Structure 1
C-alpha cells in the first residue's frame, strides 16, 4: 500500500450524528435535530465528476454550497463506482489509488465546509456484480474471491472488506461529515450461497470490526446500517431479522422498489400509496426507537429497462409525492432518490421539494417524537383523499393527497377542485394544540389553527384542501391563537 500524506485538519469539525435518545430520529451529539434530506450521488455523475483529478473543484464546491442553501443535509455515495474501469478504490486489491483517495479527501473537506454529511457504503455491488470478472477482488484479476455467490463467506474477500473499511475509517472516520456507514449495499442471500442465515454473521463481524477501529482511533464510532433491495424481503423473509432488528445496527434502511408502481410509474398516486404502505410495513418490523428511511428509490425499470427518462414535470410530482408519503408515514426525511435521469442529476423542481421539506421539518421536536404510523387510523371525511400520518401522544405529522384523477405522464399538471375535509386524529393527550398548515405543492405555510384534543382525539376541520396539504401538529403555547 503506498503511503498517503495526512489530510489537512478541518477546524472546527462538524458535530457527529447520533440517534436521538429514546426517539427514532437523529440529532447531533450537541443535541440539535438533524434530518437526512438528499439523494444518492456518484463519483462519475455530473455534479461530483469535476472533483476527480481536481479537474473542476470550483464547480463541485459551488454545487455543494447550493445544496446546503437548499436544505440538503445528506448524500449517499459508494466508495468506488464500477460501471467503468477508472474508479476503483483499490487496484489491485489492497493498493489504494491516489487519485481516488484525493477525491475523498477533497470531498470530505468540502462537506465539512458546507455542513453536508455522507452516508458511505464501501462497494458498488450492482456494477461489481455485473462486471465481476473485471473487479480487482475477482480471482480473474488476482483477487481473493472466485464467485459472486461467495462475497459474504469467502475468507479472503472478508479480509479485503475489513481492510477497506479500516483504511476508510482511519483516514476519514474522524470527520463529522461522515453521517454513517452502510456496511453493505443491498445485502442479499445470493451473495452468500443463498443462505440467509449467513447474513447475520457477516454483519456482526463487519460491525464489530469497524466499531473497534473507530473506537481505537477516535474513542467513539459512527452510526451503522445495512441496506437491502426491498423485493429481496419478499423472497427471503428471514432477511428482515438482519435489516430491521440486528442488535449491532443503529438504524434501518431499505430500497423502496415496487414493481407495480415505483419502478415504472404510470401516475403519481400509485408510488405515493406504495411508499406509505412500505414505510408502515418497515416500521412494524423494528424496535420503536430505531430510525428508518428509504436510502434508494426511483423509476428503475423505466430508466434501466425501457431506456426512458420521465418527463420532468411528471417526475417532479412523482418525486414530491413519494417524499411526503415517506416523511409523513414515519420515515426520517424524505428518502434518498437514485436520479434515474439523463443527465443523472435531480431536477430543480425536486430540489425545491426538498427545501420545502427542510423548512417544514423545523416545525417539530424530533428529539422527543416517538412516532407510530397512523396511515390507517386517521379518519378522513372524504375518501377522495389518501392520508399519510404518524404521531405520538404530543405531536403528529399528517399529509393529505387528493386521489381523484392523479397526474399521469402525458397529462398537463392540474390542481383538483378544493374540498372541505374533516380529520379525526387519535392518540394525542387531551389539551390545546397548534395545527400548522403547509402547501406541499408550492412549498409555503398557509397559516395555523388552534384546536383542543379530547379523550376521543383531535378533530380538524379544513375548509378548502386542493391537491395536497401537510399538517404539523404540536402542543400549543399558552398564548397561541388561530389565523
Structure 2
C-alpha cells in the first residue's frame, strides 16, 4: 500500500512539475484549462452556490493573504485539500504574484508563472480561488517611513515615478485611469478567462477605504468584469462592518445588480464602534450575516473576512496564542453558515488562526457536520431557537433540518481570560416545536455530531423533545424527514 501511494504521489508531482515547466515558454495567454466545472450562483436557490454540473458548493475556506513562500506552497495547498478546504482568497498584487510591479500599466508575464503554478495546484486538488485584483489605497511619489497606517501606497502609479497620476482620485476618475484598469482586466482575462479554479474576480479589497470615490468606479467596473469573465462570479468588497455608518455603504454595494455575492467583513475588535464586535465570536459573525439578509436581496451571503484583531486593526489578536483548541476558528466557521450564509466564515490571519497552531482539522469537522447536505435542494430557512443554556442556530429545510448548538456560557472570554474550562453539558433537552417543522418530520431520524470529539452520537427522542448526548462547547444535530 505504501509503495502504491508513493507511486501515485510521484505521478501527481511529476504532472504538476511538467505543467510548471511547460508554461515557462508562454508569454501572455493560453494557460487556462477548460477541465472541471465552474462555480455559479445556484439556479435552484439564488442564496447559495452550485457548480455548473449542478452539484452543490459550500465555500469552505479562508484568506490566503500574505501567502506562503513558493517552496512551502504545496504543503499548504495539500493541508487545505486534505481537510476539506475548497476555497481561498488571494491578493493578486502581493509580491509573490504581482504582475504590475515595475512600471504602471506594464504587466510581467514571467511573474505570472508563480500564479499559474498555484492555480494548477489548486485545480488538481479541487480548490477554488477568489482573485482580488487590487488593494492599494493611495498614490504618492514617496511613501513616508514607516508608511502611514492603512495608506497602502502604490508609488509606481505616481507621475514622479513614471506613472500617470497624482493621487487616487486622479486614477479612479480620469478616463486614462479607467482605460488602464480595464486593460489590466483584459490582460488577466486573456490568461485566466477560462480557468475553472477561479471562484470569483474581486475588483478591490475594502474599496471604501481608498482615498477616492469608490461607488461610481465600482458601478462601471463590475459590468466590465462580467464582460471579460462570463464564466466567473464578479464581486466588490468593503471595509469591516464595525460601525453603524457602514450599513449605508453595504446597502449601496449590495444593491448593484452586477455584484454577484453579498460580501461582508467583520472582526472581533475591542476598538470597534459596534459593541457587538467586542463579544462572542458566534454572535458578531451571525449578526453580520443577518445585517445583509435584512436588505432583502436574494443572493449568496459570505462573511468573507473575519478574525480577531488588536484594537482598531493594529495586528493579530493575542487571543490566537491562547487558543489551543481552535475555539475562535470553530465559531468563525460554523456561525455564518448556520445563520444562512453560503459558506463558512473566511478567517484572516491564516498563519495565527490555522497553520501555526495546526487547527486545520476544524475545517474537516465542519465538512463532517454538513456532509451530504445540499443547501440549494433544501431551500434552508435560518431559525434561532430559544434555549436557557444554548444558542441554537438552525437551518430548517425541506427534508433535513440541521442545528448548531453553542454553549451560551462558554466563549473566548470565559476560557482565555477567566480560565474556566467548558462545562460538560449533560441531559440537555431540545424542544422541536421551536423549529416549526413540517409534518414530514414527524417520524424524522435524528443524530448528533460532536465536532470536538469528531464523533456521531445517538439522540434520545420522546415525541417532540430530544435529549442531547453529553458535549462541551457545541454540538450539531441533524434531523432528517422520514421516507
Q: Which category of TM-score, normalised to the shorter sequence, fits these structures?
A: 0.7 to 0.9
Distance 1:431 1:305 in 2: 51
CA contact (8 A) 1:266 1:409 kept: no
Match of 1:143 in 2: 163
Say whether 1:169 aligns with 2:174.
no
Distance 1:65 1:341 in 2: 15
Superposed CA deviations along residues 150-205 of structure 1, whole A, max 9, x for unmatched, are 55434333222212221112201211100111222112175434xxxx61x32332
**TM-score if structure 1 supplies the norm length?**
0.80
Match of 2:424 in 1: 417
Q: Residues 397-408 of structure 1 correspond to what in structure 2 (within 5 A)?
A: 397-406=402-411, 407-408=414-415
CA contact (8 A) 1:271 1:318 kept: yes
Match of 1:481 in 2: none
Match of 2:380 in 1: 371
CA contact (8 A) 2:135 2:206 kept: no
CA contact (8 A) 1:264 1:300 kept: no
Q: Shift of the alpha carbon at 1:303?
A: 9.8
Distance 2:276 2:351 in 1: 16
Distance 2:454 2:419 in 1: 20
What SS is found at the alignment partner of 1:115?
coil
Q: Residues 183-262 of structure 1 correspond to what in structure 2 (within 5 A)?
A: 183-188=203-208, 191-193=211-213, 199=215, 201-214=216-229, 220-231=230-241, 234-260=244-270
1:473 pairs with one of 467, 473, 479 = 479
What SS is found at the alignment partner of 1:15?
coil
Distance 1:240 1:134 in 2: 26
1:430 pairs with one of 417, 432, 439 = 439
Say whether 1:305 aligns with 2:317.
no
Q: CA RMSD in A?
A: 3.4
CA contact (8 A) 1:17 1:27 kept: yes
Task: Figure out how many residues of one structure are paired with residues of the other and give that number.
Answer: 442
CA contact (8 A) 2:410 2:422 kept: no
Say whether 1:396 aligns with 2:401.
yes
Q: Shift of the alpha carbon at 1:395?
A: 3.4
CA contact (8 A) 2:338 2:394 kept: yes
Q: 1:191 to 1:118 in 2, by over 3 A?
A: same
Q: Shift of the alpha carbon at 1:7?
A: 4.6
CA contact (8 A) 2:91 2:135 kept: yes
1:331 pairs with one of 341, 360, 363 = 341
1:271 pairs with one of 243, 266, 281 = 281
Distance 1:240 1:460 in 2: 40
What SS is found at the alignment partner of 2:157?
coil
Q: Shift of the alpha carbon at 1:36?
A: 1.1
What SS is found at the alignment partner of 2:355?
coil
Distance 1:209 1:354 in 2: 35
Unaligned runs of 5+ in 1: 51-55, 215-219, 453-457, 479-483
Q: Shift of the alpha carbon at 1:448?
A: 5.6
Q: 1:361 to 1:145 in 2, by over 3 A?
A: farther
Match of 2:294 in 1: 284
Q: 1:387 to 1:70 in 2, by over 3 A?
A: same
Superposed CA deviations along residues 239-273 of structure 1, whole A, max 9, x for unmatched, are 23333222112211111125349999999961221
CA contact (8 A) 2:306 2:332 kept: no
**TM-score if structure 2 supplies the norm length?**
0.80
Q: 1:228 to 1:473 in 2, by over 3 A?
A: farther
Superposed CA deviations along residues 124-154 of structure 1, whole A, max 9, x for unmatched, are 2369894555432234433333223555434
1:21 pairs with one of 32, 40, 43 = 43
What SS is found at the alignment partner of 1:240?
helix
Q: Shift of the alpha carbon at 1:474?
A: 3.2
Say whether 1:444 aligns with 2:455.
yes
Q: 1:390 to 1:126 in 2, by over 3 A?
A: farther
Q: Shift of the alpha carbon at 1:327?
A: 1.7
Q: Shift of the alpha carbon at 1:102?
A: 1.0
